[in-house]
Structure 1
Amino acid sequence: MEVNLNEMLTLLEKLVNMDSGSNDKEGVDRVGRELLPYFEQLGFQVKRISQKEVGDHFVIKHLKNPHPPILVVAHMDTVFEKGTTKERPFTINNGKAYGPGVIDMKASLVAVIYALRYLKNKGSSAYQQVEIILNSDEEIGSVTSRELIEKEALGKSFALVMEPARRDGSVVTERRGSGRFTIEVHGKAAHSGIEPEKGRSAIEELAHKIVKLHELNDHEHGISVNVGMIEGGDAVNTVSATATGHVDVRVATLEQAEQVEHKIEEVCSSSDVKGTEIELTGDMRRPPMLKDEKIESLFHIIKEVGAELGIEIKDTKTGGGSDASFTSAMGIPTVDGLGPIGGNAHSDREYLEISSLTERTLLLAKVIERLALEKEVYVQSE
């Protein structure tokens, strides 16, 4: 019994051609409305967690099992602005599918549905052992969904996170932690030709802070601090009254997260340019995902299942963040990158290797089946 690739591609095309940027609540909710009937047809009950600013989140459990041991986490939002799908709709060329969010992670949403359908159709009750969380703000740090993920993860035996596999097919067993900070500097405006001495340059102050923050980098040990965006000033002949810097932070350990956050606060605690004031906001959004014995054991199971399907499964670590960090930090065996294979995510060249869509769907189904057996929690099939 196999999965139907044509059906999967039809659904994928629908999803990709729906704008669903993280800040496009209407678009993300439209994706949710498209997906939910597929779960309901499989006997799942859907709980909607309404949101005001971002799309609604969903917790999905089978009616016969209110306490399933396996958590699957996937997100419906993308990084693309509204209108992108009209400019770059879903296309297929030379065995690859293209379009905004095709690999991150609309192909994974399709894979989850068809993996569960596969299990039900073959008479396996393993699909009832899964709880699915679909969240709508992963691409902006899961600010409103983190609490939900951590709440639903309590008591779970395994967590499978559906970010795409790496280009070589590797799953992810380790991620760096991440944080976002914003520095707002307030100075005093003055004409740079007539009375510059009366001004207090916010841009100059921000420049001092940028240099000090970049001195915190320790790439050898996994610490990255990058002021990636700056804004400031009103005119070239005016001493700037305001300036803003946006900071991205990556760390390899929890200890580093605490240390770097403290150092950033220290850098921003006083001004280098007299008369300027600094306001620091933000925090470390995701803890690092560390490959411990539990994760190693889960990966070994996935590797064994892959071998049974004739697929060599390797693992890797990455600097990017995902919701896997939350479940792994809770001590739950977690593996990420269980989606299909593709590349160039977040760009206009984003693609899916179409052959991997069915392959990784079957892998997901078999992994769920194996994990259900591991817990010996089968319920009677319908």
Structure 2
Amino acid sequence: MIAYLKAKEEEMLQLLEKLVNIDSGSYVKSGIDEVGRILQKEYEALGYEVCIHEQPERGNNLSIRHKEAVNPQILAIAHMDTVFVEGTVQERPFTRDETRAYGPGVFDMKGSQVALLYALKALIEEKEEAYKNVEIILNTDEEIGSPESRPLIEEVAKDKKYALIVEPSQSRETVVSQRKGGGKYFLKVTGIAAHAGGEPEKGRSAIGELAHKIIKLHSLTNLEEGITLNVGIIQGGTSVNTISPYAYGALDVRVETHEQAEEVDRAIREICATVDVEGTSIELTGQMRRPPLILSEKSKELLSIIQEVGGELGVEITDTKSGGGSDGNLTAAVGVATIDGLGPIGGNAHSAEEFLEIDSFVDRTLFIASIIKRLSDKRH
């Protein structure tokens, strides 16, 4: 397979350029669906059947399996959305130099889309039946927590033995075995407007109330336990000389265990159940969206197999933890052995400096193909 993939490297980079040069942020339905149509055509040319799960506002999710597949045991997931707004590609389209490729989503995770596709092409080229043992989900909302694709992922995952999450990796020697769980909460505070100089006693400050809540919410952070809370967005008020009649805050939460998720959720609701500034009121919405990805016994066994495959390819694989979530959190939560971070190498995700290491493209594609082959052996 290595000879085949090396011969296809330039072709892979051309497809990567095509995908990167399409704006496909989570809220850009037209762009995501264009990416989906390109990948659908690629998979159908290999004999795969593509089921389109229509979404009215988000991009359409795709589930893919070979027309000759019978009860495939491996689920592979790769998301088509990026974090970038429409128009980003026009400002900084795909570029490359001798060692790196650049552009919005090149690392997270359009490189992984190409790697997964060519891993299956390599298996087909080698006449390895393993390509029939994979069901694929290409989803469109991972960067915003997979709210629409989560039911599809959970439904497809429940009869699978393994889940391979093709998120990109930071190094050739690592995969991701654990991820924090997370949630988003939103506070809408209502106060009473009044002139800040003329009649301040008649006002009730929504901003003041939100400030109390931010301090209390941030105090729940426990870095030693892996618990973090961050109010990352605040808005409020109408003018500098008006007691603010409204305020808004958006809260990000990360935890390492299911028990922490329950405890933090309860604490957030308790904090927001009463007000500190008399005369104001709070509306709290949101929830813990992703359960943590825990390294279960099943996942440990899968990790061991992946490490064996790495060793055979001359790479000593170690597993790492990540503070960010992914769709692997969802597959692990339904009891499927899950390993994440199997895609190509790069860095600076979600920034204008995002890049993909070109020389990792073939290596990681071979890695994915070899894992699928090994997991499809009868002994596993």
When the two structures are superposed, what TM-score results if normalisation uses the length of structure 1? Answer: 0.97
What secondary structure sits across from 1:71 in the alignment?
strand
Tell me the CA shift for residue 234 of structure 1. 1.1
What secondary structure sits across from 1:19 in the alignment?
coil
1:67 aligns with 2:68: no
Which residue pairs with 2:368 in the alignment?
A: 364
Give the distance between the partners of 1:68 and 1:36, measured in 2 at CA.
19
Task: Specify the code of the residue in structure 2 equivalent to 1:230.
Answer: I
1:180 aligns with 2:184: yes
Give the distance between the partners of 1:258 and 1:375, measured in 2 at CA.
39
The 3 A distance-change label for structure 1 pair 375 and 138 is: farther
Runs of at least 5 residues in structure 1 that lack an aligned partner in the other structure: 377-382
Tell me the CA shift for residue 93 of structure 1. 2.1
1:152 paired residue among 149, 156, 165:
156
The 3 A distance-change label for structure 1 pair 79 and 56 is: same
Which residue pairs with 1:2 in the alignment?
A: 4
Which residue pairs with 1:301 in the alignment?
A: 305
Q: Deviations over 1:337-377 (max 9, x none)?
A: 0100000100001000001111000000010000011467x
Tell me the CA shift for residue 2 of structure 1. 2.3
Task: Specify the code of the residue in structure 2 equivalent to 1:369.
Answer: K
Tell me the CA shift for residue 155 of structure 1. 1.2
Runs of at least 5 residues in structure 2 that lack an aligned partner in the other structure: none
Which residue pairs with 1:311 in the alignment?
A: 315
Q: Deviations over 1:255-306 (max 9, x none)?
A: 0000000000000001110110100000001000111221111111111111
The 3 A distance-change label for structure 1 pair 365 and 134 is: same
Which residue pairs with 2:272 in the alignment?
A: 268
Give the distance between the partners of 2:192 and 2:125, measured in 1 at CA.
69
Please say if residues 172 and 315 of structure 2, whose CA atoms lie closer than 8 Å, have aligned partners that are also in contact.
no
Give the distance between the partners of 1:364 and 1:187, measured in 2 at CA.
55
Tell me the CA shift for residue 66 of structure 1. 4.4
1:214 aligns with 2:214: no
Q: Deviations over 1:285-340 (max 9, x none)?
A: 10001112211111111111111111222210011000000111111110000100
Give the distance between the partners of 1:192 and 1:31, measured in 2 at CA.
53
Which residue pairs with 1:236 in the alignment?
A: 240
The 3 A distance-change label for structure 1 pair 169 and 238 is: farther
Question: C-alpha root-mean-square deviation of aligned residues, in Å?
Answer: 1.0
What secondary structure sits across from 2:27 in the alignment?
coil
Task: Specify the code of the residue in structure 1 equivalent to 2:274.
Answer: S
Task: Specify the code of the residue in structure 1 equivalent to 2:4.
Answer: E
Task: Specify the code of the residue in structure 2 equivalent to 1:194.
Answer: G
Give the distance between the partners of 1:180 and 1:168, measured in 2 at CA.
32
Mean alpha-carbon deviation: is it higher for 179-188 or for 309-318?
A: 309-318
Aligned pairs for 1:1-382 (under 5 A) are 1-3=3-5, 4-167=8-171, 169-374=173-378
Task: Specify the code of the residue in structure 2 equivalent to 1:231.
Answer: Q
Please say if residues 188 and 249 of structure 2, whose CA atoms lie closer than 8 Å, have aligned partners that are also in contact.
yes
Alignment size in residue pairs: 376
What secondary structure sits across from 1:2 in the alignment?
helix
Mean alpha-carbon deviation: is it higher for 287-296 or for 7-16?
A: 287-296
Give the distance between the partners of 2:4 and 2:319, measured in 1 at CA.
26
When the two structures are superposed, what TM-score results if normalisation uses the length of structure 2? Answer: 0.97
Please say if residues 172 and 360 of structure 2, whose CA atoms lie closer than 8 Å, have aligned partners that are also in contact.
no
Deviating beyond 4 angstroms after TM superposition, the runs of 4 or more aligned structure 1 residues are none
Which residue pairs with 1:379 in the alignment?
A: none
Q: Deviations over 1:214-233 (max 9, x none)?
A: 11111101111111110111
Q: Between the two proteins, what is the percent identity of the paired residues?
A: 56
